[in-house]
């Protein structure tokens, strides 16, 4: 006879609300942003969300810094596009909507193969090995044009097979909803993974591998399992990429793309589950919009990343959660003047830096167009002394102001943290 | 035969260059636990600084000044960035150097343009150091300089020249290695560095400024990378991609040699230098071997695209294959002692 245990778990209202909101946003987004540019961006965001979340399974949850995650998403893309080509030849019969799963399985197999080597090590050595493996696969893409398509890549056509309920995947909107469904399901699954015993022990492996060994787990095996699961989801993202773009080039397995996953996952924040979602949205905004706006976007990105690593290692989501904590104690309003001042002085610094960088880029790259350049609607003479003196003066003023405000802010922040501690103590007493 | 010797020497000089890079990386890693992802960015900066300085002060002064500048930049980066993230652990330290590699790449592209720059071997070092000639009936003989054109042109004879600059590269690398070894083992500074490496707290208690020692080591490692850039930039190409293309290779060197082992890094550098140099000329593939054995592979065989790849085509991936093999059969590296 089995004992029946009665447990009571309160309905987690907050969680239900958040997930419903996420679903609604995915559902409504193409209605609100319906231009063709925003449609392409939305589809890319969906793909990037899956890729960055799968990357964070390694970085955030497992403490594994990988420089080669694009290998798994990229080979997923190649697998999916080859299968798609087989389908259009009539050789195989796979519905287009299941192609991402083909990519996922490919990602799983490749990560099972390569992960057995890379996960032998952890920490920085793991990072170096993944970089080497990434280079290995990328160099192979140049040697095997039969599989990787050489310079031109492999192209395909997603409108194959019998339309199911009128869905041909011809219009962009149908592809978007396919991606949205996958994004939602994968996000739910990856969140569920964090709650499983494996997900929990993975966190333990990240924090204290030695103790995990002592309680009888094989840390390498845990890392390996997590690596394969991350590879599976990366492969799904890769399969969606193949459907969305209908062309896959060797660029998808490049170190460049792996670097982008790392950079934006970190910027979004590796410490919280939703951080990479913010990072993925930023990734698409930066690569599509910012790269159109300025040639110096990689420089801005690099500097922003450096500043974030140094001053906000929790990423954007870390900043959000820190402020939510204050809000929970009702102390956020004590800071709003400081935030306003910080934002103001930061804006001055940013404007000055942007003007200087843009002037340098203009002189270097667009000299043929004359010394005039337009910046945020204003016309600036890059040869004029006044422009340089003015921007440098602006920079010095901005930095000075920022430093003043920052000191005040740090003081206030410390004060508030002390107050929260006191409040906690008071609550415990009562 | 004579080509074999010259190739071996070329491979050695390339391996020594790799070791100049990997020794700095290994030193920084074993001392601070920081994997400097931007190490080859400093290598690139060395090449570009030397290119810029050669125009005004000449190559040989630039050989000294450029590495010093790079070292100063490296020390400043340690002081103002790496040290700030040190409390957060090793991964943020790696990330901060990763971010730096982006910034350096963009700044270099901005200042010197996206194409390669014309950074040349100085005239004094241009030309052949010696020539190996295979003379019919005499066997192998050796000439200083470019050798006698008449002998080389004669029927049945063949000559191979070894460039003077390659010799210079190897000399600089060896001189630097000896200097580094003497510095670390025979001087007071080296003693303090070694002490700070193994017993940082104790060294601190004895009144040495360990953070400053670390800053010095970081700067020194970067200066070594800069020096490698000065002598490697004109031997190969000076372009914004040079950092990324060497970066992965020296990581392989460090892992294959064994983390934190200078001797292992040396062995692995020479090994990879030789492999990469020789692989380029071996034009053999499985298909060609099977053909020689009288058992040709059919053109439409499923594995034909893989089997037809010759060793020379595989040259770029050989270091990574070596990495995989080492990880399978000897995970701690050739001369490594740590099992992680």
Q: Indicate whether A268 and A404 sit together in one domain.
A: no
Contact status of A258 with chain B (Cβ, < 8 Å): no
Q: What is the pLDDT of residue A408?
A: 87
**Which token pair is A101?**
């799963």
How far is Cα of residue A66 from the mean position of the Cα atoms in its chain?
14
Q: Indicate whether A290 and A189 sit together in one domain.
A: yes
Model confidence pLDDT, tens digit, residues A77-94: 999 999 999 888 888 888
DSSP state of A281: H
In angstroms, the first-to-last Cα distance of chain A is: 44
Whether the CB-CB separation of B178 and B20 falls below 8 Å is answered with no
Chain B residues touching residue A298 (CB < 8 angstroms): 102, 105-106
Chain A residues touching residue B26 (CB < 8 angstroms): none
If we measure between CA atoms, which residue out of B161, B178, B163, B234 comes closest to residue B19?
A: B178
Q: Indicate whether A387 and A292 sit together in one domain.
A: no
Are B113 and A364 within 8 A, CB to CB?
A: yes
Place of tokens 């800053």: B215
* Dihedrals phi, psi of B144, to nearest 5 degrees: -75, 150
> A235: pLDDT confidence band, cut at 50, 70 and 90?
very high
The answer to the question of residue A8 being in a domain is no
- Residue B96 three-state SS: helix
Are A299 and B110 within 8 A, CB to CB?
A: yes
What crossing angle do the helices spanning B318-329 and A99-118 adopt, rounded to 10°?
60
**Which token pair is A310?**
């140094």
Are B323 and A140 within 8 A, CB to CB?
A: no
CA distance B118 to chain A (A): 18
pTM of the complete model beyond 0.80: yes
Average pLDDT over chain B reads 85
User: Residue A263: is its pLDDT beyond 90?
Assistant: yes
- Residue B234 three-state SS: coil
CA distance B105 to chain A (A): 8
> B336: pLDDT confidence band, cut at 50, 70 and 90?
confident
Chain A residues touching residue B103 (CB < 8 angstroms): 299, 302-303, 306
Best residue in B110, B253, B285, B311 to probe A by mutation, most A CBs within 10 Å? B110
Nearest to B90 among A121, A124, A302 (CB): A124
Distances (CA, A) of A371 to A20, A293, A387, A391, B112: 53, 19, 11, 16, 19
- Residues A35-38: contacts with CB under 8 Å, at least 24 apart: A36/A172, A37/A288
Residue that finishes a domain, picked among A312, A337, A364: A312
**Which token pair is A40?**
């392409």
Are B248 and A135 within 8 A, CB to CB?
A: yes
What crossing angle do the helices spanning B90-112 and A123-143 adopt, rounded to 10°?
40
Nearest to B314 among A143, A255, A313 (CB): A143
User: Residue A47: is its pLDDT beyond 90?
Assistant: yes
Contact status of A267 with chain B (Cβ, < 8 Å): no
DSSP state of A156: -
Q: What is the pLDDT of residue A1?
A: 46
Whole-complex ipTM:
0.86
The answer to the question of residue A276 being in a domain is yes
If we measure between CA atoms, which residue out of A102, A114, A123, A108 comes closest to residue A58?
A: A123
Work out the average pLDDT over B274-285: 83
**Which token pair is A296?**
């110096």
Work out the average pLDDT over B69-86: 92
Q: Any idea where the domains of chain B sit in the sequence?
A: 2-121+165-239
Whether the CB-CB separation of A397 and A349 falls below 8 Å is answered with no
Q: What is the pLDDT of residue B310?
A: 79
Tell me the C-alpha distance between B209 and B192, whole Å. 10
Tell me the C-alpha distance between A46 and A285, whole Å. 12
DSSP state of B38: T
Are A306 and B99 within 8 A, CB to CB?
A: yes
Q: Indicate whether A294 and A358 sit together in one domain.
A: no
Q: Indicate whether A124 and A213 sit together in one domain.
A: yes
Which residue blocks in A99-208 are alpha helix, DSSP H?
99-118, 123-143, 145-148, 172-195, 197-207
CA distance B248 to chain A (A): 6
Classify residue B230 by burial, with Cβ atoms within 10 Å: 0-12, 13-18, 19+.
Answer: buried
The answer to the question of residue A4 being in a domain is no
Residue that finishes a domain, picked among A279, A312, A345: A312
Chain A residues touching residue B317 (CB < 8 angstroms): 135-136, 139-140, 143
Q: Indicate whether A281 and A339 sit together in one domain.
A: no
Nearest CA in chain A to B29: A124
Whether the CB-CB separation of A159 and A178 falls below 8 Å is answered with no
C-alpha torsion angle, residues A296, A297, A302, A304 (rounded to 10): 110
Chain A residues touching residue B258 (CB < 8 angstroms): none
Other Cβ atoms within 10 Å of A168 Cβ, number:
14
Q: What is the pLDDT of residue B49?
A: 93
**CA dihedral over A259, A262, A263, A265, signed as positive or negative:** positive
Q: What is the pLDDT of residue A240?
A: 94
If we measure between CA atoms, which residue out of A100, A135, A380 comes closest to residue A258?
A: A135
Q: Indicate whether A49 and A117 sit together in one domain.
A: yes
If we measure between CA atoms, which residue out of B175, B180, B202, B198 comes closest to residue B190?
A: B180
Q: Indicate whether A250 and A395 sit together in one domain.
A: no
Domain that holds residue A35: 21-312
How far is Cα of residue A264 from the mean position of the Cα atoms in its chain?
4
Distances (CA, A) of A218 to A116, A195, A201, B331: 14, 19, 10, 17
> A221: pLDDT confidence band, cut at 50, 70 and 90?
very high
> B338: pLDDT confidence band, cut at 50, 70 and 90?
low
Q: What is the pLDDT of residue A265?
A: 94
* Dihedrals phi, psi of A144, to nearest 5 degrees: -115, 70
In angstroms, the first-to-last Cα distance of chain B is: 43
Q: Indicate whether A306 and A359 sit together in one domain.
A: no
Strands, E, within chain B: which ranges?
128-135, 139-144, 158-163
Nearest CA in chain B to A116: B328
The answer to the question of residue A269 being in a domain is yes
Q: What is the pLDDT of residue A5?
A: 67
CB-based contacts of A58, cutoff 8 Å, min separation 6: A64, A65, A66, A69, A226, A227, A230
Tell me the C-alpha distance between A44 and A237, whole Å. 10
Q: Indicate whether A285 and A397 sit together in one domain.
A: no
Whether the CB-CB separation of B121 and B165 falls below 8 Å is answered with yes
Work out the average pLDDT over B139-155: 70
Tell me the C-alpha distance between B324 and B318, whole Å. 10
Other Cβ atoms within 10 Å of A427 Cβ, number:
8
Whether the CB-CB separation of A103 and A236 falls below 8 Å is answered with yes
Q: What is the pLDDT of residue B340?
A: 47
The answer to the question of residue A382 being in a domain is yes
Are B317 and A296 within 8 A, CB to CB?
A: no
- Residue A330 three-state SS: coil
Q: What is the pLDDT of residue A2?
A: 53
Q: Indicate whether A333 and A308 sit together in one domain.
A: no
Best residue in B91, B301, B336 to probe A by mutation, most A CBs within 10 Å? B91
Rg from Cα positions in chain A:
25
Residues 162-221 (A) with a CB less than 8 A from some CB of B: none
Nearest CA in chain A to B331: A120
Nearest to A361 among B105, B110, B305 (CB): B110
Whether the CB-CB separation of B287 and B308 falls below 8 Å is answered with yes
Place of tokens 């934190």: B260
Nearest to A128 among B111, B251, B324 (CB): B251
Classify residue B156 by burial, with Cβ atoms within 10 Å: 0-12, 13-18, 19+.
Answer: exposed
Chain A residues touching residue B95 (CB < 8 angstroms): 65, 262, 266, 305, 309
Work out the average pLDDT over B236-243: 87
Q: Indicate whether A120 and A49 sit together in one domain.
A: yes
Residue that finishes a domain, picked among A247, A278, A312: A312
Strand order in the sheet with B128-135: B139-144, B128-135, B158-163
Model confidence pLDDT, tens digit, residues A300-333: 999 999 989 988 888 899 888 888 888 888 777 7
Q: How many domains does chain A have?
A: 2
Contact status of A285 with chain B (Cβ, < 8 Å): no
Q: In this predicted model, which residue has the larger pLDDT, A381 or A301?
A: A301
Are A136 and B328 within 8 A, CB to CB?
A: no
CB-based contacts of B150, cutoff 8 Å, min separation 6: none
């Amino acid at each position: 006879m089995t004992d029946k245990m009665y447990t009571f778990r309160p309905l987690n209202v907050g969680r239900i609300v958040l997930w419903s909101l996420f679903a609604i946003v995915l559902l409504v987004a193409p209605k609100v942003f319906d231009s063709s540019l925003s449609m392409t961006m939305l589809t890319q965001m969906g793909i990037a969300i899956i890729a960055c979340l799968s990357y964070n399974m390694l970085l955030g949850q497992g403490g594994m810094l990988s420089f080669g995650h694009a290998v798994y998403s990229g080979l997923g893309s190649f697998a999916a596009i080859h299968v798609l080509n087989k389908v259009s030849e009539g050789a195989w019969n796979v519905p287009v909507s299941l192609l991402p799963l083909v990519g996922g399985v490919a990602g799983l197999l490749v990560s099972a193969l390569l992960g057995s080597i890379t996960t032998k090590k952890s920490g920085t050595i793991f990072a170096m090995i993944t970089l080497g493996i990434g280079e290995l696969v990328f160099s192979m893409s140049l040697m095997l044009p039969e599989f990787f398509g050489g310079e031109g890549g492999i192209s395909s056509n997603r409108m194959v097979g019998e339309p199911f309920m009128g869905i041909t995947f011809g219009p962009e909107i149908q592809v978007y909803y396919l991606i949205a469904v996958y994004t939602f399901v994968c996000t739910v699954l990856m969140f569920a993974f964090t709650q499983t015993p494996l997900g929990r022990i993975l966190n333990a492996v990240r924090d204290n591998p030695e103790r995990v060994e002592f309680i009888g787990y094989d840390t390498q095996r845990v890392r390996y399992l997590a690596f394969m699961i991350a590879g599976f989801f990366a492969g799904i993202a890769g399969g969606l990429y193949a459907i969305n773009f209908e062309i896959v080039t060797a660029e998808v397995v490049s170190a460049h793309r792996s670097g982008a996953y790392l950079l934006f996952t970190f910027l979004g924040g590796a410490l919280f589950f939703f951080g990479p979602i913010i990072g993925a949205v930023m990734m698409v905004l930066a690569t599509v919009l910012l790269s159109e706006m300025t040639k110096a976007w990689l420089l801005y990105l690099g500097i922003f990343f450096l500043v974030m690593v140094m001053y906000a290692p929790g990423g954007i989501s870390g900043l959000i959660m820190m402020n939510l904590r204050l809000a929970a104690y009702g102390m956020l309003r004590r800071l709003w003047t400081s935030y306003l001042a910080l934002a103001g002085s930061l804006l001055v610094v940013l404007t000055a830096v942007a003007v200087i960088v843009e002037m340098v880029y203009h002189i270097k790259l667009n000299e043929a167009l004359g010394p005039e350049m337009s910046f945020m609607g204003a016309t600036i003479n890059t040869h004029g002394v006044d422009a340089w003196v003015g921007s440098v003066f602006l920079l010095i003023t901005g930095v000075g102001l920022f430093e003043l405000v920052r000191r005040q802010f740090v003081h206030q922040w410390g004060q508030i943290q002390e107050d929260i501690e006191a409040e906690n103590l008071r609550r415990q007493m009562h | 035969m004579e080509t074999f010797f010259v190739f071996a020497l070329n491979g050695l000089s390339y391996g020594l260059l790799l070791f100049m890079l990997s020794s700095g990386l290994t030193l920084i890693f074993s001392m601070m636990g920081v994997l400097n992802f931007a190490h080859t960015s400093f290598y690139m900066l060395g090449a570009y600084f030397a290119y810029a300085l050669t125009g005004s002060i000449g190559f040989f002064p630039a050989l000294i000044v450029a590495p010093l500048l790079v070292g100063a930049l490296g020390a400043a980066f340690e002081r103002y960035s790496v040290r700030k993230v040190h409390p957060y652990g090793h991964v943020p330290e790696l990330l901060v150097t990763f971010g730096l590699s982006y910034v350096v790449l963009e700044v270099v592209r901005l200042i010197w343009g996206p194409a390669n720059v014309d950074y040349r071997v100085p005239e004094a070092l241009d030309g052949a150091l010696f020539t190996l000639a295979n003379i019919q009936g005499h066997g192998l003989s050796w000439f200083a300089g470019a050798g006698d054109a008449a002998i080389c042109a004669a029927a049945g004879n063949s000559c191979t020249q070894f460039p003077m600059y390659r010799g210079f590269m190897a000399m600089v690398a060896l001189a630097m290695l000896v200097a580094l070894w003497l510095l670390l083992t025979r001087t007071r500074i080296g003693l303090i560095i070694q002490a700070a490496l193994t017993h940082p707290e104790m060294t601190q208690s004895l009144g040495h400024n360990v953070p400053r020692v670390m800053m010095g080591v970081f700067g020194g490692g970067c200066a070594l990378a800069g020096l490698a850039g000065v002598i490697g930039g004109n031997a190969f190409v000076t372009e914004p991609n040079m950092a990324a293309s060497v970066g992965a290779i020296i990581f392989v060197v460090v892992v294959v040699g064994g983390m934190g082992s200078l001797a292992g890094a040396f062995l692995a550098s020479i090994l990879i230098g030789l492999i990469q140099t020789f692989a380029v000329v071996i034009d053999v593939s499985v298909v060609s071997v099977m053909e020689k054995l009288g058992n040709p592979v059919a053109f439409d065989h499923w594995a034909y695209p893989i089997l037809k790849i010759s060793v020379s085509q595989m040259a770029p991936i050989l270091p990574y294959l070596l990495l995989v093999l080492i990880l399978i059969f000897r995970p701690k590296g050739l001369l490594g002692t740590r099992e992680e």
